[in-house]
Structure 1
Amino acid sequence: MFPDLADQLRAREQQGLRRFRQIVESPQASHVTIDGHDYLAFSSNDYLGLANHPDLIHSICEGAQHYGVGAGASHLINGHSTAHHILEETLAQFTGFPRALLFSTGYMANIGVVTALAGREDAIFADKLNHASLNDAALLSRAKFIRYSHLDLAALEQRLADSNARRKLVISDAVFSMEGDIAPIKQLIALCEKYHALLLLDDAHGFGVLGQQGRGSLFLPDSESVHSPNIVYMATLGKAAGVFGAFVAAQADVVETLIQSARSYIYTTATPPLLSHALLTSLKLIELDEWRREALLQNIAQLKNDLLSSCWKLLPSSTPIQPLLIGESHEAVRISRALRERGILVPAIRPPTVPRGKARLRISLSTTHQPHDILRLTQALNELTLDS
């Protein structure tokens, strides 16, 4: 009926860009089962190893007993439960903001924040390597969309100074999901304060992993302005936190504006309360289990050291996201498949997710990876280096 769709799919496959889903038959962990085969996995955002933690499983069961399964309605109708409310208050306190608001996903949170805070008379300033959800949100807002080169603060300042927009909104990843590097948060805050702009900081990959007690990128030693009223902070709860969902933390007026105007919050069923109940346990583990972050640092150091002689270079990253730059899409796919044949899962990331000519393997490390797991990966990569 639509032959052009088939042509598009064939072209995508010929370019090495077609994606395929795989069915995981086991809990999320450093070792998973797919189609009856066991794999060592470096492909998950479960950075702290909480996705299958027994305390969280117990909390889910406890939450189901107390709250049932589904929320049954949107937050503004009849779906905002005690569990949601307690979690929001706990997240606000944990991150140091006056209020927090739960969203179903990070994508929906970014869409909701940007479209509620910016419109036709406004301007949005975005790092060119931001997550797709931030870009899509900017386009949906109908504000003027101004992008600057990755981490180029001089270019950002010039664009802010030149703008006469009614409201200015800077949007940036805190940890860039395909690069693994960290935004210069303190400097971004200073620019936003100087030019009276809001800063939406997407800390999906920093929350739980970075900062004092895992409180996120705002709690890194060089990010000292956590209480700036210019910040709108977003983090997800399905990565390091091990469960599902997202939240936005900000000043009270900002959060109240989102409750009244963020369409991706208003017009959707609330997440199951049992998830919020389990996330209270997750936050305790994040706060208390410092050994998890220490283990991550050790794993990162080992990976970097073991790949020093590789012809493929790791991009500069101090986070669990360790991108190994390959170059061409077909080559990245070939290496990923060769690793899979050795029982190791590392995804190949290709355009349009990353720029053309910069396809890579995205190695995601977890607390649950053991030294021998990382050695197995690096030995396989070094063997493939010799075969190239």
Structure 2
Amino acid sequence: MKSTDPADPHASAGSDTADPSGPFGWIAEQARIRREAGLRRELRPRPADWELLDLAGNDYLGLTRHPEVTQAGADACLRWGAGATGSRLVTGSTALHAELEAEIADFTGFEAALVLASGYAANLAAVTALTGPDTLLVSDAANHASLIDGCRLSRATTEVVPHADPEAVRKALGARARRDADASRSGGASSVVVSDSVFSVDGDAAPLPALAAACREYGAALLVDDAHGFGVLGEGGRGALAAAGLAGAPDVVSTATLSKAFGAQGGVVLGPAAVIEHLVNAARTFIFDTGLAPAAAGAALGALRLLRREPERADRALHVARAFHRMLTAAELDATAPDACVVSVRAPSPEAAVEWAARCRAAGLAVGCFRPPSVPDGVSRLRLTARCDLTDAQVAGAVDVIVRTAPRG
């Protein structure tokens, strides 16, 4: 019998089989294909007193349980209530949301900010509201699923270009510019280049200055998802756009999440005030979604204020990531060099990656396990995330576990 104990890492709410004669009978075949390919996923609810050393989450600055951040969240919940009660355009905007938006914009160097319920919603909002049927979207092949989904929902023409290749971007923009010279257009930007700032699988950074130069050559907009740079890159964690000298530029829009470095929940779009006003009026994931819960907004604001006082947290997180890479490569494992806080270690197969992650868990270490279709290149990996609150001894101990449990042969 399958366990339903939420503390059991193999617990499941049900079965992945379906009545073959019913409308969902096709699910059984899909489940069989996933099992045979070693790609079946499971929910593993963790207890509040989880004893594993966590290198799987994205709590880069160690703030999700910081007493100042949790207290800010609790105070906001007590003052404003458990939920926002409605969409931001109805009852879901509070003075707290406005305060958070103003402080994030000031911190990052953008003119204005708009907070949404998640980073996923922020990406969908920015991509779909800033484009139209006549727009060309130029999208990096390694972009996050939320950007890919935004491209699909936008009704724009999307051209996927090779990963981190500014010349390919320039060629795509040039071809569209020649076409636009002889055609009339309707709503939406003519061309928008869309990229992560730091790619979530291998932790490598996009060539933002070169992408911006290509955009400006052809009058295109640049839209960057800074989920993995916000809070850790740039001076005091102001983000990858600030580090590249692009924050506040009139042709640049950034999105970010409040659930990684800030340890809370929610997403944000940053850009010119005119762009933010347009999103308020045109972005469906803003207009039709309930606003971010006050507790999450309060916690994010608490995290931002703490980071302003303790900017060294960002530097420490980057130092830990580099230490992971140095020690893993010294042990002859195939680890990626981090541009922010993500380090991935290649595994020989999906099955090997799953087994490797399980051995790490058994030894007290939680690591991410990335397999197809989550990774577009088809290579399975362990994904490690650095945290500023890890001690040198914890870093060394984690590396020792990963090396000892690595697949042989």
* TM-score of the pair, normalised by structure 1: 0.93
Displacement of 1:356 after TM fit? 4.9
Letter in 2 for 1:47: Y
Question: What does 1:177-192 correspond to in 2, within 5 Å?
Answer: 177-192=200-215
C-alpha distance after superposition, 1:68-111 (max 9, x if no partner): 22211111112211111111111111111221111111111111
Matched residues in 2 for 1:152 and 1:63: separation? 44
Does structure 2 conserve the Cα–Cα contact (< 8 Å) formed by 1:71 and 1:270?
yes
2-side partners of 1:362 and 1:377: how far apart? Answer: 13
Displacement, 1:231?
A: 0.5
Deviations 1:196-251 (A, max 9, x none): 1111100001111111111100122xx12323211111110011011110111111
Tell me, yes or no, if structure 1 residue 254 matches structure 2 residue 275: yes
1:156-305 paired onto structure 2 within 5 Å: 156-163=169-176, 164=179, 166=185, 167-220=190-243, 223-305=244-326
Q: Secondary structure at the match of 2:355?
A: helix
CA distance in 2, matches of 1:274, 1:331: 40
Q: Distance in 2 between matches of 1:348 and 1:194?
A: 40
Contact 1:328 1:357 in 2 (8 A): no
Please give the secondary structure, in 1, of the residue aligned with 2:221.
Answer: strand
Equivalent position of 1:18 in the other structure: 40
- Judged with a 3 Å threshold, the aligned counterparts in structure 2 of structure 1 residues 3 and 205 are, in CA distance, closer, same or farther, namely same
Alpha-carbon separation, structure 2, partners of 1:71 and 1:311: 50
Q: Aligned residue for 1:8?
A: 30
1:118 aligns with 2:127: no
Q: Distance in 2 between matches of 1:64 and 1:340?
A: 34
**Contact 2:318 / 2:386 at 8 angstroms: preserved in 1?**
no
Q: Could you tell me how far apart the structure 2 residues matched to 1:293 and 1:256 are?
A: 31
The equivalences for 1:300-311 within 5 A come to: 300-311=321-332
Q: Which residue of 1 aligns with 2:352?
A: 331
Partner Cα distance (1:208, 1:325) in 2: 27
- Which whole-Å CA distance do the structure 2 matches of 1:260 and 1:244 have between them? 23
Q: Deviations over 1:285-318 (max 9, x none)?
A: 1222123123223322322232224343111223
Question: Secondary structure at 1:346's aligned position in 2?
Answer: strand
| RMSD over equivalenced CA pairs, Å | 1.6
Unaligned runs of 5+ in 1: 27-31
SS of alignment partner, residue 319 of structure 1: coil
Structure 1: distance between partners of 2:296 and 2:121: 17
What does 1:104-143 align with in structure 2 at a 5 Å threshold?
104-143=117-156
Q: Using the TM superposition, give the Cα deviation of residue 355 of structure 1 relative to its aligned residue in structure 2, in angstroms.
A: 3.2
* Distance (Å, rounded) in 2 between the aligned partners of 1:183 and 1:356: 17
C-alpha distance after superposition, 1:6-28 (max 9, x if no partner): 111121011111111111112xx
| DSSP 3-state at the match of 1:234 | strand
Deviation at 1:58, TM superposition (A): 1.5
Distance (Å, rounded) in 2 between the aligned partners of 1:385 and 1:66: 49
Match of 2:108 in 1: 95
Taking structure 2 as the reference length, what is the TM-score of the superposition? 0.89
Task: Please state whether the residue corresponding to 1:229 is helix, strand or coil.
Answer: coil
- Letter of the 1:254 partner, please give it: V
Write out per-residue CA displacement over residues 21-51 of structure 1, whole angstroms, 9 at most, x where no aligned residue.
111112xxxxx62xxxx31221010000000
State the 1:343 CA deviation: 1.8
Aligned equivalents of 1:318, 1:112: Cα separation in 2: 27
Of stretches 139-148 and 188-197 in structure 1, the one that deviates more from structure 2 is: 188-197
Higher deviation after alignment, 53-62 or 199-208: 53-62
Matched AA of 1:217: A
Question: Which one of 382, 385, 397 corresponds to residue 361 of structure 1?
Answer: 382
Residue aligned with 1:300, SS: helix
| Contact 2:352/2:407 (8 A) holds in 1 | no
Amino acid at match of 2:34: R
Change (3 A) 1:24 1:99: same
Contact 2:112 2:270 in 1 (8 A): yes
> What residue identity is the alignment partner of 2:39?
L
Query: 1:363 Cα deviation (Å)?
Result: 0.7
- Secondary structure at the aligned position of 2:387 is classed as coil
Contact 1:83 / 1:274 at 8 angstroms: preserved in 2? no
Contact between 1:329 and 1:357, CA under 8 Å: does it hold in 2? no
1:379 aligns to what SS in structure 2? Answer: helix
Q: Is the 8 A contact 1:180 1:320 kept in 2?
A: yes
Distance 1:114 1:306, change over 3 A: same
Conserved 8 A contact 1:192-1:198:
yes
Structure 2 Cα separation of the partners of residues 301 and 134 of structure 1:
28
Whole-Å Cα distance in 2 between the matches of residues 365 and 269 of structure 1? Answer: 32
